[in-house]
Copies of this chain bind each other. A is one copy, B any other.
């Protein structure tokens, strides 16, 4: 039986999970590839720590270049994360004619263009199924299953830690800080989970989905991002009263000349299937011009889950090698015509309904004052909850608006927050129409 050799750079959580999967499901994998997939080398600076999986010591090396230079290795798996070193290894491996599999979303989002270019120049494959949505095969769906469609919209719950925190805040009414501690203790989150909760991680993944949808990398810095750190259980409870759930949502929408690209907390109607995605689960909701609405759901992270995605890429490449197929499709599976770059609409132009929670003095005329200033900025109110109960920081006045423009909202809030009748900063959550 012939043999396809792989080398793994980075023997952390996902590296060890990948090794474990390749050993544990060897029969299935051999059957699907038609050849044996063998791990020839594993490179990590730390070759001592027990990873919970038996590895023959002779496979381990601290020298990633030894692996990249090994002429017997067909596929290099980059799982070290980070930007510069990882990019260097990937480029060098491709220059040696090796196919590359990576789970590195930050690298693809911020330096994707260089990697896609290098893969094309050297005629090698690039697998990155594990970079978005953990085990959910969304990359494959966008490259192949939905390939006949013009993608109109993407709405994703792309960060499991944030979703876990928001689910707990909603169900148990725990404050944000307490849910963060719980997520860290249960091993869902880093301590502190900055990139998870500030929207950066979700924005990295959104950048990758956008590049697949539109056939071109985007400028990551232009993606608007806002995290969940300002939300309170109170807001999530009011959202429920209005019939919505709150999720950290990554949104892209094709507007023709521009696209929307943004990550922020968003209210979703409870009957929408995305509103029912809870705990550490991820989901990607897509709208295509022919397929209509689709949703893909699964665990967004974890050793075994992510390994499932990494190994699916290995199987796909190994099968092609075994079949003798040398033609390689471009990494994004299509390419936008030159000069037709994807342009991101400035956030100020967004039009959306909004949720506001004002903390106000319990005094006559307050609501009329607020409504007046909103009106001056072309923001009209759809519904209000004002319960008049006394709390430390003033009485909450909660409202949903009709569609308004982000720039108007920002101006209105900035005027309002200067008023003495408002005792605390106003909380704003955008509403995604179902």
Contacts and interface: CB of A to CB of B under 8 A. Distances in A.
A290 B308 contact: yes
Interface string A275-302: 0110000010000111111111111001
A319 B333 CA distance: 10
Interface in A326-369: 326-329, 333-337
A243 interface: no
Contacts of A322: 327
A210 to B, nearest CB: 16
Given A145-B141, A215-B31, A299 B304 contact: no
A208 interface: no
Please classify the interface of chain A as helix (H, G, I), strand (E, B), loop, or mixed, using the class held by over half of its residues: mixed
A2 interface: no
A307 B333 contact: no
8 tightest Cβ-Cβ pairs between the two chains A and B: A137-B145, A323-B327, A325-B325, A148-B311, A135-B291, A295-B297, A291-B308, A294-B298
A328 B323 contact: yes
Interface stretch (A21-29, A231-239, A423-431): A21-29
Contacts of A288: 135, 308
A6 to B, nearest CB: 13
A136 interface: yes
A64 interface: no
Given A141-B141, A291-B305, A295-B295, 6 more contacts: A17-B290, A28-B334, A135-B290, A294-B296, A294-B298, A319-B329
A66 B175 CA distance: 70
A175 B185 CA distance: 50
A411 interface: no
A45 interface: no
A325 B316 contact: no
A320 interface: yes
A308 B149 contact: yes
A268 to B, nearest CB: 12
Contact of A299 (B140, B293, B299, B314): B293
A150 interface: yes
Copies of this chain, how many? 2
Interface residues of A, number: 63
Contacts of A25: 148-150, 289-290
A165 B156 CA distance: 29
A144 B144 contact: yes
Nearest to A136: B294
A307 B333 CA distance: 20
A280 B276 CA distance: 18
A259 to B, nearest CB: 16
A26 to B, nearest CB: 11
Given A295-B297, A298-B291, A299-B291, A21 B334 contact: no
Nearest to A30: B334
18 contacts: A17-B290, A21-B148, A25-B150, A29-B148, A32-B333, A135-B288, A135-B292, A135-B294, A144-B312, A147-B312, A290-B304, A291-B305, A292-B299, A292-B304, A293-B299, A295-B295, A323-B327, A323-B329
A78 interface: no
A152 B283 CA distance: 21
A147 B140 CA distance: 12
A215 B299 CA distance: 25
A4 interface: no
